[in-house]
Amino acid sequence: MSSTFYIIEKTVSRFTITSPACCLLMSGVRKVFMSNKEASIIFLPSGRRGRFPHGVTLLDAARALGEPIESTCGGHLLCGKCQVRMESGAFARFGVHSSPDHVSPPTEEELRWLPSPTPLRLACNARIQGDLVVFVPEHARMHRQTIRKVAGQRTIEVVPTIHQVYVELSPPTLADRRSDWERLAAGLAEQWNLKDVRIAYPALRSLQSALREGNWRVTAIIWDESLVIEVRPGYREGIWGLAVDVGSTTMAAYLCDLQTGDLLASHAMMNPQVAYGEDLMSRISYAAQNEEGLKKLHRAVIGAFNRLAGEAARKAEIGQEDIHEAVIVGNTTMMTLFLGLDPRSLGEAPFTLAHRDAMDWPASPLKLRLHPAANIHILPAIAGHVGADNVAALLAEEPETLSQPALIIDVG
Ligand code: FES
């Protein structure tokens, strides 16, 4: 006898899932035929647990429980990232006896991703055959923490707005004449539970060739779970982001690997607007009193941004057009000029801003030389002359976590 449903334990636990099995199937967990024997699976260190039929992969069990294991290829044995370790012995607190033998043996295809010898297994290729306590190492956890390498050592959680997913699609036939985009959108919904996703124009332009070149297997780069910004043939890794501080005197850029959180390169240069005035008020005056003043200041800072991005990309040995996202901070005058907005209201009380909230815009209208569908995120300002640079400092320094009052001083 076989069953097509997962059975999820209903014990009361912080992480135990109690949803009906049909919801899990609808939410993208792949349907497979399984034995009617069940096993208890406990993931550590989270403690998420549930009961699953023998034959289910550990990756599917993890997904059903909301256990965030890296799986950029979607369980196709192409990325080697879903590494887990089976614990051995009796675990009285969970009421199970766990053993590495309680999963199917590794295949040759799996072993090529793992060091030898190793206690690790790939969760997408290990099928449950008995009770298990499964440890998810730090490097295999999504949203893992990374040590920031500049401006002090600290741990940050890596949760990028952009991520990549691998999708396998069926080719069109006379009986299935869906458009290429309908086919990809359906694949994203079925295989990754990404629904109501749109496609950016630059991604649409490469969609047909990517699907055919990849034999209907593609890697999609998704922004904010809602917009496909790139489609690559086959399985290809790599998403990059740039953090830029537009200071009145100096501009600095930090290029990061958005999958690992690693800082790959940094570069700094003088803000070329200095030629139009040393301080903020003289630049506001220059913009107000010269017919082409605002245009010149705006062009100067955009040109500098592009040079910074190019230099950081060169150091990291990636293309400038590979940078998918940029986060930009600066004081309110710098951000106003960066966006090409009239700064005159910042030159006199009550110092009104054109826009105070966080913003997301495509990079292309500002002529930023990044990925053609890149997004720029601008942090919010607090008040007329308390800008996104202050917000960035607060986010980075986390004074709210300190037991004593803290003072942040930016000596510009
Ligand atoms: S999810 Fe990619 S190898 Fe397992």
The yes-or-no verdict on residue 31 having pLDDT over 70 is no
Instruction: Quote the pLDDT of residue 412.
Output: 64
Q: In a 3-state reduction of DSSP, which class is residue 166?
A: strand
Q: Could you give the C-alpha distances from 203 to 17, 180, 229, 231, 383, in angstroms and in order? A: 36, 12, 5, 6, 37
Instruction: Quote the pLDDT of residue 19.
Output: 32
User: With a 6 A CB cut-off, is 140 part of the ligand 1 pocket?
Assistant: no
- Give the position of tokens 């997408």: 124
| Domain 2-140 shares a fold with domain 162-233 | yes
Instruction: Quote the pLDDT of residue 153.
Output: 55
The closest of 172, 200, 175 to 186, measured between CA atoms, is: 172
Residue range 208-236, pLDDT digits in tens: 999 999 999 999 999 999 999 999 999 99
User: With a 6 A CB cut-off, is 71 part of the ligand 1 pocket?
Assistant: yes
Q: State in Å: Cα 304 to ligand 1 middle.
A: 40
Which atom of ligand 1 lies nearest, measured to the CA of 71? Answer: 1
Question: What CATH code would you report for 162-233?
Answer: 3.10.20.880
Q: Which of 58, 60, 77, 83 to mutate to test the pocket of ligand 1 (most atoms within 8 A of CB)?
A: 77
> Is this complex's ipTM strictly greater than 0.95?
yes
Q: In a 3-state reduction of DSSP, which class is residue 344?
A: helix
Q: State in Å: Cα 367 to ligand 1 middle.
A: 37
The 217-223 sheet, strands edge to edge: 162-168, 217-223, 227-233, 198-199
User: With a 6 A CB cut-off, is 82 part of the ligand 1 pocket?
Assistant: yes
Which atom of ligand 1 lies nearest, measured to the CA of 74? Answer: 1
Q: Which CATH number fits domain 240-401: 3.30.420.480, 3.30.470.10, 3.90.105.10, 3.30.1330.10?
A: 3.30.420.480
CATH 3.10.20.30 matches 2-140: yes
Which atom of ligand 1 lies nearest, measured to the CA of 73? Answer: 2
* Percent of the chain residues topping a pLDDT of 90: 65
The yes-or-no verdict on residue 10 having pLDDT over 80 is no
User: With a 6 A CB cut-off, is 80 part of the ligand 1 pocket?
Assistant: yes
Instruction: Quote the pLDDT of residue 32.
Output: 47
Across the chain, what does the average pLDDT equal?
Answer: 87
Q: In a 3-state reduction of DSSP, which class is residue 2?
A: strand
User: With a 6 A CB cut-off, is 165 part of the ligand 1 pocket?
Assistant: no
Sketch the domain layout of the chain as residue ranges: 2-140, 162-233, 240-401
Instruction: Quote the pLDDT of residue 145.
Output: 57
Instruction: Give me the mean pLDDT over the 144-167 stretch.
Output: 72
* Percent of the chain residues topping a pLDDT of 70: 88
Q: State in Å: Cα 171 to ligand 1 middle.
A: 23
User: With a 6 A CB cut-off, is 142 part of the ligand 1 pocket?
Assistant: no
Q: Could you give the C-alpha distances from 306 to 300, 313, 324, 382, in angstroms and in order? A: 10, 10, 14, 27
